[in-house]
Structure 1
Amino acid sequence: MKSPTPALPTLNKITFYLLGAPLLVAIPILAYAEVDDVSQPTTSTLEHIVVHAQKTPQNLQDVPVAVTALSGKDLVETVSRDVFDLQNYVPAFGAFQNQSVTNSGFSIRGIGTSSQNFGFESSVGLYVDGVYRSRQNALINDVVDIESIEVLRGPQGTLFGKNTAAGAMTLTTTPPSHNDRDGFAEAIVGNDALVRLSAGSSFSLVEDILALRLSGFTSHSDGFITDKESGKTLNNRNRSAIKAQLLYTPSDSVSVKVIADYGELDERCCGALTYQNNIQANQVEGKFGTDALLLQPPFDATVYGREDFYRFNTSLSQTPISQMEDKGLSVQVDFDINKAWHLVSISAYRAFDSLDSVDTDFSNADLLNATNDAQQQSFSQELRLHYRSGVLEGLIGAYYYSQNLDLTFDTTTQADFSVFFNAVAGDLLPLANAIDELSALTSGLIAPSASPAPPNTAFIHNADQEQDSFAVFTQFDWRFSDMLTLTSGLRFTQEKKTIKGQFDEQGPGIDGLEQDPTKWPNINIALLGLQEIGAALAQGDFPSQSSLNAIAPFQQTGWGYFFFGSAAVMPRPDLNESIEDDQLTGTVKLAYHPQDNTLAYASFATGYKAGGTNTDRILPGLSPLFNAEKSRSTEVGIKHDFEDVGLRVNAAAHYTKIQDFQATTFTGTGFNLQNAGDIAVRGIELEATWLITSNTELHANASRTLANFDEFKQGTCWVAYTWHTGIDDPGRVNPGDPFCARDGDRVGFEPQNSLSLMLNHHFALGNYPLTASIDYQYTGDVFLDDANDPYKYSGAFSQFNARLRVKITQWDSEIIAWSRNLFDEQYVARSGFDVPVQTGKIMAYPGAPRSFGVTFRKTF
């Protein structure tokens, strides 16, 4: 079935932007056309880029993998302050964060994973200095003292430790050296009171034997969203980190690198704004929602609408809290056994603690608050034995990963919640009043009704998850000739996870809610009981025990919570579950070099993302376990350098089938987390570099990615659109079904089309070399979740970034004036959701408005 999709933006607007980009760069070029020529260290030949996409150094143009490589120099010159900025320069790549800054996530080729549930692992594996990171958190995203970043697209199910069903990202920090000229100090200042200071340098402790490198940063800024209630800004920056690396090289055949890092963060993130309110239904006359109620006393809340979305204002009873500590220690040993054999060992320990607190009614009414306090510790060990000869090159290896996760998640009702419940659940009050009248009539012999939803009630759940993963793998390149190479790889992975969960409810008069569904409050049974009690009393008889049992649930404090149907408040028995799984994945690639500057390749690869345990509080009767996500991908590509005209073109076409895709959508009552069925992804990608002149270069990348559910029978149904229009989700097979088929629908959060252009021009002003740069990025339309609710749709948008870089060679320094989102384009950051207990209301995360500033950088 297909959801209605609004029309795409007209081509005229896109064409205007594309034609305008070169003109904007031409302005500074013309302005300085008459200055004296100054020798400029520009690149007139295509760069030789070394990547480690196959765990060994290779020329990018010789690797039969769709991979984008960015150097530390690239990150500095483009003023890429975090991973989110990389979306401008990597095709079919997305980086996003939603409710908390400590939970960010990546997607590649339309496939990503929500970071909201700690039981999920990412479809895109993240590796920093060879160590797997299970949480793609904010401190990693600040790209400071980075030597290189590689983004591998497509399943990487052979060489990488875990979770490479969609792709992998590897970050390599600048290593220690004995070079006395590899230090830097950098300051970035900008609007919203941005100040980011960073520095790094190597120190030779024992010449050619022992070197130390220290680096770190601190970043502070105001946010771009204002909470009118507190006067504070949201989405601010307040983070810092430090890293120490020790490199020991006692001989030419042995090196030992020890890395220790620590970072901390304390921010107010992330601000969600009203995308659709529910004061009144848009197409159902006389239908009013919770916003109409919250406008009135005693709440007197501030209610916003879609027209306020890009004013970046909100009003909350509590500003969000995001805090974390991230630390780790790793040891990498490299040992050349002989000319043919090389051993690599990487051992790592990591600890990640986070605390998130969110006003989950997203208003300044005191209704709901949620707090997630989590601690993770992990240990990993990787061993690789590399072999190289004239016609054969490859490796065999083993990998072990162990992780413990402990979290406590609380949803707590606030001071206004009891009044709110009485207003929205008014149809239940006559029944409660009838019980109270019987109590008065019997002078209290029959107990009165209890408080249905007392404030300050905490719904607590604790989850303790243990995970062990073991894998053995091998991959070899078989060189049949100088032109033809066959790559084959295989990986066997064994996973085991266990979860223990405890659930409790605590509040005024509440010490746990009834877990037996037969004893939950039932309106129809209670009404029959009331009739029997009334009839007995009218005849002077004492009511039967069965009739008294019928109304007993309404005489227990907290009975109203059962009628919300929300997983966050429903009682359920404790958990003690486990899952075990074995998977065999691998790859076959055929690379053909008809000439030195051309590579054509075809590959088939499988990937695997482990199944897991749901660490959220979920509805009783739903399984806390979900199966592994498996992918099979076919890809063909070509990489060619037109050296005579300075043009490099890398292109790939791919088709991927994802089986048992792990999907989650927030419905307003809880997260619907399950294996969705099958997804088909097909697309094409293009990366190009053109050295137009010795001083002018153009970089371009484009992708078209079609990701659709082949089969998804138990998907999330439309919520807001149905409430506002009265039109039911066409995917609902039978009236009253809680799930809807999403067969044929688009995978949420991901654009189908993207295009990025970057034009750099090098020139001079007097004795100062300058570079003027402008980026253009087009991002296609998206649905803001997997439900494809027509009200959760965001159209395509375009952005420009601009930079002017001045080198001061006599000071070994440079100054970069920059602006991101130069024309202040308004857009949604890919994600939206239904608001808890406020049906018909949608919140979404806005994209950042225009920012600007200056970078000062000195090398020494």
Structure 2
Amino acid sequence: MPLFCQHRVLYWIPFQRHGMYVLSAMLLSTGTFAAETTTPKHTASIADSSKLETVVVTATRREQSLQTVPIAVSVINGKQLEQQQRNAIDSIVATIPTVNFRAGASNKDTSLFIRGIGTISTSPGVEPSVSTVVDGVVYSRPGQATLDLLDINRIEVLRGPQGTLFGKNASAGVINIVTKNPTAYPSGYVDLYATNDGEQRIKLGASNTLIDNRLTANVSALLGRYDGNVDNITTQKEVNGYKNYGFRTKFVYTPNDNLVVGLSADYVHKDGTAPTGVVVKNSDANYAAALLPIVATIHNRTTSENVSASTDDTNRGLALTADWTVGNHLISSITAYRQWKNTQIGDSDQIANATPNFAAIADLGTVNSKQFSQELRIKPLSFQHIDYVAGLYFSKNKNDETYQRQSRWYNSTTSAYQIDLGRAVYNTDSTNYAVFGEGTYHISDRLRWVTGLRVTHDQLSYDHTRVSTVPSSVGIRNAIRSGFTGSGSTDETGLSGRIGPQFDITPNIHSYFTYSRGYKGPAYNVYFNMQQNDTPVIDPETANAYELGLKTQWLDNRLRANFAIFNTQYQNYQANFRTLDPSGFPITRLVNAGSVNTRGAELDSTFKWNQNLILNFAAAYTHARVDAFTCPASDTSCPQLNGQTLPFSPDWKVNAQVNRYFPIASNRQIELAAQYAWQSDVQFSLDQNQNTIQPSYGIVNLTLALNDKASDWRVALDVRNVFDKSYATLLSTNGNRIIRQVPRDDERYFGLSFHKNF
């Protein structure tokens, strides 16, 4: 019997297979832009409150229970994000142990890591290892995904190589962000947040039907500010803060029962004041004197930058979707355009003024990144033995960047200060074509076989021109190189895929074993101080991944525990490492670093003791190591890294949370929540500098809230970093000193929030 939908309501219809009736459900739309027609909460039926709710994901481009998807997936719902005031993608690293984050003074310098693998380079000629997908649209640059989260339905973290189901391929994993859809009934919300140290945020949203149940729409907006938690003694201002504003809107038009058209638009702007870094260690007495009155200590939160480091960041885009039912098939299209603009001002010396021993160095960089993408997919709405998704993908990305550096230094020959200036203009063009598909063959009611394949063709080119006042005879002076001009182009075709069985041991215990082939395209190391030995193309990176998973439910669906064991080998690993150039100047180079391995085990669990007590526990052991490091032939100072830890990958991470509810009156309750996130030591540098290791630490957060279910409001008092633990989200080398990126919760603070649904 076929499936059918009327006015977007989901119907469940049994069909015959091997003499048994099996429930099958497929949503007519892909879920990206379908209107929410669920009955308002005050008239909806109440589910059994003693059991865990079913978690629905779209990881396989169809709506499925998390427990039946043969992929390691972690899910955070939008309500949890709102209640915990997690407003940016980097905040999920405390909740999902397999995810880590590389911080930076600017969004341009940030990236995500999954299972120890991520992209460190900020070159526009390097693909991200972890893809970020928002409502089906793949973001081309890592920095695009680190702005504020707005109107989120859920975040799905897919671990391991991906690419057979949608969009752009990813060698390490995917962050799949699903935003809220319009409702067919009037609804809205307001969310307010303020802290004792000056952070203020407001979010607003509304949704309704506009035209005769055929056109629905929603809109949400945000406004936030925070002065910061770092003192700049030169400018007498608080820094490491932000000013944010933005909006997101969706329109869904249903002209008939066979066609759904969606249009979305979003815009987010951020003015950030993160310093280039605060000095926490220093071995140079002359620099220590120049740094005074600041004394370098591991928990320093003071800087003396005379150039006010800042970022001006704008991320915006449009997406047009269409879901068309043709017979027994659904054809889906996603057409998207995005633009990302970033302007970064930096102070690379961290001192107030130039001295005879140290130059004052200031940077100004701009990014203008544009991308266009088109995705087409087809899938059956009902099937007998084979269920599948197949598609075509095209993306075109153009990045235009300028970067200039000025150094003011003391010339001992003339006994006067001199200024050098270097300015580089560089551009990259990348085009990606792909055909992909994945099918599931139902051998029996309990045994299935999954097979997926992707063919990707990449075209990449760059050009670079740097003009400089530093003579070519000198080569480099105060971090500015002499002039350079270069260009290059390459193209590659790569295969990736997935294969393996899925077996239902019992109705509540599902297992799978898969082999995945990952692929990451060729790269160029394009940056300000690019030189001749940076011009060779970096070969594609490949991965061979094995994963064994077990998804279980126990105690009448009150306990959910999911396990995964994985082992992934990467060849031609694309990595940055710090070394010395022939003149002895420290540089960071991007190379094919040989082979690395990441293996480990993961646990995601939730236990609902009763309707008033819920326990969550997640843990990950990730053994990410260099197997065989390949040094460039021209590098005589290459470090020996075999057997060493990959950067941004602690061996252990744990997250535990307890939610306790106390009913106090009709439809009202008090909520108590405690969260503990802990991780072991983490090395931030591939060169294994002992000064760039963050020791193990744990953070405790507490919440006390009052919730009125009838009026649908909640007021909460949050205490972040209860035990006032200071730590670093990045430690990096700058000359003879170590600088730290200071996290938002580097010290204890209090927040008061209010959320009201209408």
Question: Could you tell me the TM-score, scaled by structure 2's length?
Answer: 0.88
The answer to whether the 8 A contact 1:79-1:818 is kept is no
1:851 partnered with 2:753: no
> How much does 1:78 deviate?
2.5
Q: One-letter code of the match for 1:341?
A: H
1:749/1:786 contact within 8 Å kept: no
Aligned to 1:393: 387
Greater shift in the superposed pair: 770-779 or 42-51: 42-51
1:166-204 per-position Cα deviation (integer Å, ceiling 9, x unaligned): 0001111111121223x1111111132111111111131
> Residue 137 of structure 1 aligns to a residue in which SS?
helix
* Structure-to-structure mapping, 1:807-822, within 5 angstroms: 807-822=707-722
Within 2, Cα distance between the matches of 1:270 and 1:129? 33
CA deviation string 1:373-428 (max 9, x = no partner): 110111000000112412111121100000111101111113xx125xx4xxxxxx
Query: Does residue 330 of structure 1 match 2:226?
Result: no
> Displacement of 1:606 after TM fit?
1.3
Q: Distance in 2 between matches of 1:737 and 1:609?
A: 28
Within 5 Å, which residues of 2 pair with 1:582-731?
Answer: 582-616=493-527, 617-644=529-556, 646-666=558-578, 669-714=586-631
Amino acid at match of 1:258: L
Counterpart position of 2:292? 302
Partner in structure 1 of residue 20 of structure 2: none
Residues 633, 657 of structure 1: 8 Å contact kept: yes
Q: Give 1:787's aligned residue.
A: 687
Aligned to 2:73: 67
> What does residue range 60-209 of structure 1 map to in structure 2 within 5 Å?
60-114=66-120, 116-137=122-143, 140-181=146-187, 183-209=188-214
Q: CA separation in 2, counterparts of 1:621 and 1:640?
A: 52
Are residue 479 (structure 1) and residue 484 (structure 2) matched?
no
Check whether the contact 2:501–2:512 (CA below 8 A) recurs between aligned residues: yes
Query: Aligned partners of 1:670, 1:859: CA distance in 2, in Å?
Result: 53
Structure 1 residue 456 displacement after superposition: 2.8
Amino acid at match of 1:601: Y
Q: Match of 2:239? A: 234
Distance apart, 1:607 and its partner CA: 1.4
Q: Give the structure 2 partner of residue 382 of structure 1.
A: 375
**Contact kept in structure 2, 1:635 and 1:653, CA below 8 Å:** yes
Alpha-carbon distance between aligned partners in 2 of 1:168 and 1:472, rounded to the nearest angstrom:
18
Letter of the 1:791 counterpart: N
* Cα distance in 2 for residues equivalent to 1:219 and 1:146: 17
1:206 to 1:320, Cα distance in 2 relative to 1, 3 A: same
Displacement after TM superposition at 1:659 (Å):
1.1
What secondary structure does 1:602 align onto? strand
- 5 Å-filtered alignment, 1:401-550, equals 401-414=395-408, 417-419=409-411, 422=412, 455-506=418-469, 513-514=471-472, 520=473
- 1-side partners of 2:645 and 2:557: how far apart? 40
Q: Which amino acid aligns with 1:853?
A: G
Deviations 1:690-746 (A, max 9, x none): 11223111100000001011111328xxxxxxxxxxxxxxxxx99x92322211111
Cα distance in 1 for residues equivalent to 2:130 and 2:458: 18
Corresponding residue number in structure 2 for 1:216: 221
Task: Flag the 1:645–1:859 CA change in 2: closer, same or farther, 3 A.
Answer: closer
The answer (yes or no) to whether the contact 2:121–2:576 under 8 Å persists in 1 is no
Which runs of 5 or more residues in structure 2 are unaligned?
1-45, 355-359, 580-584
- RMSD across aligned positions (CA): 2.2
**Distance of 1:137 and 1:259 partners within structure 2:** 21
In structure 2, what is the Cα distance between the partners aligned to 1:117 and 1:500?
13
The counterpart of 2:659, out of the listed 725, 745, 760, is 760
Amino acid at match of 1:577: G
- With over 3 angstroms needed to count, the CA separation of the structure-2 counterparts of 1:493 and 1:275, relative to structure 1, is same
Q: 2:646 aligns with which of 736, 747, 752?
A: 747
Conserved? CA contact 1:157–1:606, under 8 Å: no
Bigger proportion of residues as helix: 1
- The aligned counterpart of 2:57 is 51
Measured after TM superposition, the shift of residue 279 of structure 1 is 2.9
User: Secondary structure at 2:124's aligned position in 1?
Assistant: coil
Contact 1:92–1:109 under 8 Å retained in 2: yes
Distance, in Å, in 2 between the alignment partners of 1:326 and 1:784 is 28
Corresponding position of 2:336? 348
Measured in 1, the distance between the counterparts of 2:533 and 2:144 equals: 35
Distance change in 2, residues 1:120/1:853 (3 Å): same
**Residues 275, 264 of structure 1: alpha-carbon distance in 2 compared, 3 angstrom cutoff:** same
The structural deviation recorded for 1:454 is 6.4
CA distance in 1, matches of 2:180, 2:563: 30
AA aligned to 1:513 is P
Question: Shift in Å at residue 328 of structure 1?
Answer: 0.8
Whether the aligned pair in 1 keeps the contact of 2:147 and 2:270 (CA below 8 Å) is no
Report the Cα distance in structure 2 between the residues aligned to 1:645 and 1:845, rounded to whole angstroms.
43
Q: Secondary structure at the match of 2:481?
A: coil
1:371: which partner in 2? 364
Unaligned runs of 5+ in 1: 1-39, 281-289, 423-428, 430-450, 507-511, 515-519, 521-558, 716-732
Alignment coverage as a number of residue pairs: 698
Comparing 50-59 with 384-393, greater Cα deviation is found at: 384-393
Larger Rg: 1
* Code of the aligned partner of 2:651: Q
Distance 1:499 1:583 in 2: 21
Matched position secondary structure for 2:419? coil
- Aligned letter for 1:331? L
Partner Cα distance (1:760, 1:452) in 2: 67
Are 2:681 and 2:695, in contact at CA under 8 Å, matched by a contact in 1? yes
Q: Counterpart of 1:797?
A: 697
Report the CA distance between 1:610 and its aligned residue: 1.6
Matched AA of 2:269: E
What SS does the aligned partner of 2:691 have?
Answer: coil
Deviations 1:609-663 (A, max 9, x none): 2222222122333335312221110000101101337211100100001111111
Go from structure 1 to structure 2 and tell me whether the alpha carbon gap of 1:624 and 1:203 turns closer, same or farther (over 3 Å shift): farther
SS of the residue corresponding to residue 79 of structure 2 reads helix
CA distance, structure 1, for counterparts of residue 195 and residue 104 of structure 2: 24
Please say if residues 467 and 484 of structure 2, whose CA atoms lie closer than 8 Å, have aligned partners that are also in contact.
no
Q: 363-372 or 634-643: which moved more?
A: 363-372
Are 2:139 and 2:145, in contact at CA under 8 Å, matched by a contact in 1? Answer: no
Q: Given residue 562 of structure 2, which amino acid in structure 1 is its aligned partner? A: N
Per mean C-alpha deviation after superposition, the further-off stretch among 309-318 and 225-234 is 309-318
Q: Which amino acid in 2 is paired with 1:771?
A: E
1:601 partner SS: strand
2:102/2:648 contact within 8 Å kept: no
**Letter aligned with residue 471 of structure 2:** L
What's the % identity of the aligned pairs? 26
In structure 2, the residue matched to 1:737 is: 636
Q: Is the 8 A contact 2:455 2:495 kept in 1?
A: yes
2: CA distance, partners of 1:141 / 1:325: 9
